[in-house]
Amino acid sequence: MTQSSLPETAAAGDLSAWISRPGAAETLAARMGIELLEATAQRLVGTMPVAGNKQLYGMLHGGASVVLAETLGSIGAAIHAGGGHIALGVDVNATHHRPVRSGIVTGVATALNLTPTIASYEVVITDEAGLRLCTARITVAPNTAEVIRRARS
């Protein structure tokens, strides 16, 4: 669940301040070392270190890739929804193409569909050589706060 206070477009410095705001240390994204480099409702870019996010065989954990994908898609949907709304994930799936043992991975989330009630993103995660590691798709309900308010009325 992501609550947006980000502007429609934000410079990398603004994003760093947002993800490191008070309380952010308690988020999974912060614990995994995810950094946002670019964020609009249409496109998001984030990085994550492999170190600290490995499975027992010494490779990047597939679940870590899914966390990166869901983080980017949820933030994009929250930006799309506008301030004061939250975005809740509805579905996420991922195909893992190859392993990586070290370095930094980069996720690029591209909006597939943005409506008032559903936001869908394709997220491509690559290694430092630009090789595709994972392709994920996430669907998010970006106006959940409004839907909940109407349901309670």
- The residues near 30 (Cβ < 8 Å, ≥ 6 apart) are 19, 20, 24
**What does the alpha-carbon distance between residue 72 and residue 84 come to, in Å, rounded to a whole number?**
18
* Active-site choice (38, 70, 122, 146): 70
- Helix (H, G, I), strand (E, B), or coil: what is residue 21? coil
Q: How many CB atoms lie within 10 A of CB 80?
A: 23
Q: Tell which residue, 122, 113, 112, 103, has the closest CA to residue 48.
A: 103
Residue 146 a catalytic site member:
no
Backbone angles phi, psi at 69, to 5 degrees: -60, -45
- The residues near 147 (Cβ < 8 Å, ≥ 6 apart) are 117, 141
**DSSP code of residue 128:** T
Which helix (H) or strand (E) element contains residue 72? helix 62-81
The token pair at 114 is 């943005």
Q: Which residues are catalytic?
A: 70
